[in-house]
A = this chain, B = another copy of it.
């Protein structure tokens, strides 16, 4: 019973460049997080890209879908920038069948002191083991079906499409 983790970038893996004061991508911190969580899950990690989700193209999303369909595992966690996470989820729902796919990310880079990344990862790995096949977003302790989720840009929180506030 193996789980595949695909890395695509997003706030989750951003780092601080101390020479120019900008945020950038180097390597994913996924292995460190799994070690911190003392995970004993059977996990394969693959980095597909390292980009801001605002820069993600349709081609990028097709690559992600292709990788989801091609990999052996039926349980897939994808780390993803939060800005277009819902868009990618909806696109994947059209082309990935019979697998449980959970997208997650972070509002604060995991290299920073107060990140939500470890909490979200713990949740995503639990949801992917227990939810029926389908594509989901796991953020803020909750899970959302890919056809009923959006990021509220004012609060930074994820919610159902018809939810107010």
Collect the chain B residues with CB atoms within 8 Å of residue A116's CB: 36-38
A16 to B115, CA, bound (A): 10
Contact A107 B11 (CB under 8 A): no
Contacts of A18 in B (CB 8 A): 11, 107-108, 156
Residues of B within 8 A of A115 (CB): 36
A127, B129: Cα distance in complex, Å? 9
Q: How far is the CB of A37 from chain B (nearest CB, A)?
A: 3
Q: With both chains docked as a complex, state the minimum distance between the C-beta of A123 and any C-beta of chain B, in angstroms.
A: 4
- CB pair B120 A123 closer than 8 Å: no
Known: A122-B126, A153-B19. A41 touches B107 (CB 8 A): no
Can you list 22 residue pairs at the A/B interface with Cβ under 8 Å?
A16-B108, A16-B109, A16-B112, A19-B156, A36-B116, A36-B119, A37-B141, A38-B119, A38-B141, A38-B156, A40-B140, A40-B157, A40-B158, A41-B140, A111-B114, A112-B113, A113-B113, A122-B126, A123-B125, A126-B141, A127-B130, A129-B142
- A residues with CB within 8 A of B: 11, 14, 16, 18-19, 21, 23, 33-34, 36-41, 52, 107-109, 111-116, 118-127, 129-131, 138-143, 153-154, 156-159
